[in-house]
Amino acid sequence: MLAKRVIVCLDVRAGLVTKGVKFQSNQDLGDPVDFARRYYEQGADELVFYDITASAEQRGLFVDVVKRVAQAIFIPFTVGGGIRSLEAMRTVLLAGAEKVSLNSPAVRDPSLITQGSQAFGAQCVVLGMDALKVPASAAIPSGYEVVIDGGRTPTGKDAVAWAREAERLGAGEICLNAIDTDGVRGGYELTITRLVADCVSIPVIASGGGGTPAHLVAAVTTGGADAALVASMVHFGDYTVGSIKAAMAAQGVAVRGLTPV
């Protein structure tokens, strides 16, 4: 079995790491450079940096923060938020990121995925997708709708169909965030995670709901994810990345740097 990745998410607002519940009631926590260095030293496999208000505010992301974070760590680093053009992707990659995450702008202009994939390679293009559970319908047969602008705008798009389309367009990875479980710390939304993991051949990252190492184990086994994103459970000091990995390895999950039991 390929080793599963533990990825730490840094949501950034106004230059500070922030964390909310279901995209609301955010609490500002501190300097993203300090957080990035801490998780790098703890053994995170990757970091994800999201400028969470860039798309809603119709502006570019804070490139200066990207540069400072990239200088502090030596692991893969994905950046998303307000990336609306090929030139913006280039700027982010030149600032030190290994990958760009396209979310709201890709829904509005799906050709961005293809442009990025052709220019920089599929491995550099991550589809960021925020999914909300809704009543199943002819338009949304999976019962999960894609929402954009930080959860503010419903799209009428079916999450599973959009995942397939993004892979066809050239995305090399999907980071799937379930809004219903985001920040709740009660476990990942395994149903939509499994639906997306089963419908694409590219890696899927489970996001939204991690509260204990057992939740990550469920995400990469029952949910079929290739990686799990964590935020609250490490930001608030309940766990370190190392303790999460050790607990996962004890449950027989292959993680980088540890031998499963």
What residues are labeled active site? 11, 130
Cα-flanking dihedrals φ and ψ of residue 164, to 5°?
-60, -45
Question: Under the phi-then-psi rule, with left for phi > 0, alpha for psi from -120 to 50, and beta for the rest, what region is 189?
Answer: beta
CA 57 to CA 71: how far, in whole Å? 27
Residue 178 C-alpha from the chain's centroid: 10
Size (the chain), residues: 261
Which among 23, 18, 19 has a CA at the least distance from the CA of 132? 23
Q: Collapsing DSSP states into helix, strand and coil, what is residue 148?
A: strand
CA 204 to CA 197: how far, in whole Å? 6
CA 31 to CA 15: how far, in whole Å? 7
Give the single-character DSSP code of 116.
H
